[in-house]
Copies of this chain bind each other. A is one copy, B any other.
Amino acid sequence: MSRTTIHDIAKELNTSPSTVSKALNNHPSISAATKELIKTTAVNLNYRQNRLASSLRSGRTNIIGIMIPSSDIGFFGGVVHGIEKIARSNGYNILLFQSNETGEYEVEGIETLLQTSVDGIIASIAKDTPNLDHFFDVKKRKVPLVLFDRVKDELNSPSVVVDDYKGAFMATEHLIQQGYMNIAHISGPQHIKIFNDRLCGYVDALKMNNLPVNDDLIQYGRNSIESGKFSAERLLGRSKDMDAIFAVEDFTALGALQYLKQAGVKMPEKMGMIGFGNESFSPYVTPSLSTIDQQPARMGEEAFTLFLEAMAKKANGSQNGEVEVAEEEPKKIVLDPVLIVRESSIRTPQG
């Protein structure tokens, strides 16, 4: 009636549970013959390992915890996809938590993950996390912690992010190469690092190409379609020369696109446009929106790889007795963004 255990198999074969356990785990000290025999019997009896018992005893769960703001956001869905895929191929499974950008849920979730004895945690930090105590707790418990996208340097953890500066630089330079000369930028709130990074990338690309940086062509928005519309209107009113816009993210770009279209500005002939983030709608708007891809799935894979490295390091560390190894600088992976060229930035040959 109830689940078959290794005792049942042992009884069936007149051997011992420990032998069965070893055989099923391919322990070298068991002869090939008995391994074969035990494995067949296991199948016949419909045996299925109880991972709870195994984990309790061995101290490993082969489960890693994921903490993200929301799986409803395309980017995070993509990252989770990447993590789950590579994790599975390495024998790990995924316990998924969403903070919904709420510190409270994040704290709660991390607590639960620790209770579940996950082998590691991969997280992207919620916007409104009041403090990082819960993450420091993770480190205190020696549970490998890897951060991605929303990282915090104070945590001194391995992390993977995309190079925002470089992405902005690439976007701007692409517009320059297409022959646009007066390129505006709609930025976001400057206290958020990535937006400032993107602004710097834009400025440096102009400088590096010997183009003037014009403060009138820089607008600070609030990352929304509405804000994009408003910013585009302002820019258009301020400069007669502007012939392209690099927007800090795709929603802003979309708003700008919509405003300009409605204002009768021909794109991409009279006005080039590029966004950032490769949102799912960007291929389908008119004109289709050029943008910078952040490689979510790749980011997930890299994060998991960092986790594996941390696990390996941990295993080595405990071999070296109790000697507290001086904590080395955690590995920080910076992914290259990918330029996605679509209609909105391809200037057709001038007549």
What is A's interface to B at a CB cutoff of 8 Å? 3, 48-53, 55-56, 61, 63, 66, 70-74, 76-78, 80-81, 84-85, 88, 93-98, 100, 105, 108-109, 111-112, 114-117, 141, 254, 258, 261, 279-281, 283-286, 297
- Chain B residues with Cβ below 8 Å from A77 are 71-74, 76-77
Question: Among B52, B73, B96, B281, which residue has its beta carbon within 8 angstroms of that of A284?
Answer: B281
**Bound form: Cα–Cα A81–B97 in Å:** 9
Output the residue of A111, A115, A261 with the most chain B CB within 10 A. A115
What's the minimum C-beta distance from A258 to chain B, rounded to whole angstroms?
8
- Chain B residues with Cβ below 8 Å from A286 are 258, 261, 285-286
Q: Is the CB of A100 within 8 A of B72?
A: no
**Bound form: Cα–Cα A258–B343 in Å:** 14
Look across to chain B and name the residue whose beta carbon is closest to the beta carbon of A81: B72
Q: Is the CB of B95 within 8 A of A63?
A: yes
**Bound form: Cα–Cα A259–B81 in Å:** 33
Output the residue of A66, A112, A141, A261 with the most chain B CB within 10 A. A112
Assembly stoichiometry (copies): 2
Q: Is the CB of A95 within 8 A of B98?
A: no
**Bound form: Cα–Cα A85–B84 in Å:** 20
What's the minimum C-beta distance from A327 to chain B, rounded to whole angstroms?
18
| Given known A52-B55, A56-B56, contact A98–B84 (CB-CB < 8 A) | yes
10 A-B pairs (CB sep. < 8 Å): A3-B141, A48-B111, A56-B56, A63-B116, A72-B80, A72-B81, A74-B74, A95-B96, A281-B281, A281-B283
| Given known A94-B95, A284-B284, A286-B261, contact A50–B117 (CB-CB < 8 A) | yes
**Bound form: Cα–Cα A56–B49 in Å:** 13
- Chain B residues with Cβ below 8 Å from A261 are 286
- Chain B residues with Cβ below 8 Å from A281 are 280-281, 283-285
Question: Among B76, B80, B115, B280, which residue has its beta carbon within 8 angstroms of that of A96?
Answer: B80
- Chain B residues with Cβ below 8 Å from A111 are 48
Q: Is the CB of B53 within 8 A of A115?
A: no
**Bound form: Cα–Cα A72–B258 in Å:** 27
Look across to chain B and name the residue whose beta carbon is closest to the beta carbon of A54: B115
**Bound form: Cα–Cα A117–B116 in Å:** 13
Q: Is the CB of A117 within 8 A of B284?
A: no
